[in-house]
Structure 1
């Protein structure tokens, strides 16, 4: 059973019908990839923060 009763859709109508779902899928994929790429940077920053926290003397600003 076709989704659209009547004459077949033109190329412009097909693009209009599928543009929003395609852009939404591309945007979602981009956000997921960016989030995954940020994981190593966050781990490195956490490690550096722990190293700095261990090296600070007790009289220095307390960051713990």
Structure 2
């Protein structure tokens, strides 16, 4: 399933998450570490690979 959402990128230890509008959050598998995008609004595009795990194809400013 393709994921295309806008939200706030957060980091907990070495793991990145995108809180979901309807509760919960997606854990992200990222190819690079987008430290410059932590907390501002971002657009996440990726593929759902697990219950709450997204293989991110891209994370960019919203």
Q: Which structure shows the bigger proportion of residues in strand conformation?
A: 2
Higher helix share: 1
User: Bigger relative contact order, structure 1 or 2, given CA contacts below 8 A and separation 6+?
Assistant: 2
Bigger radius of gyration: 1
Superposition TM-score, scaled by structure 1 size: 0.17
TM-score (norm 2): 0.18
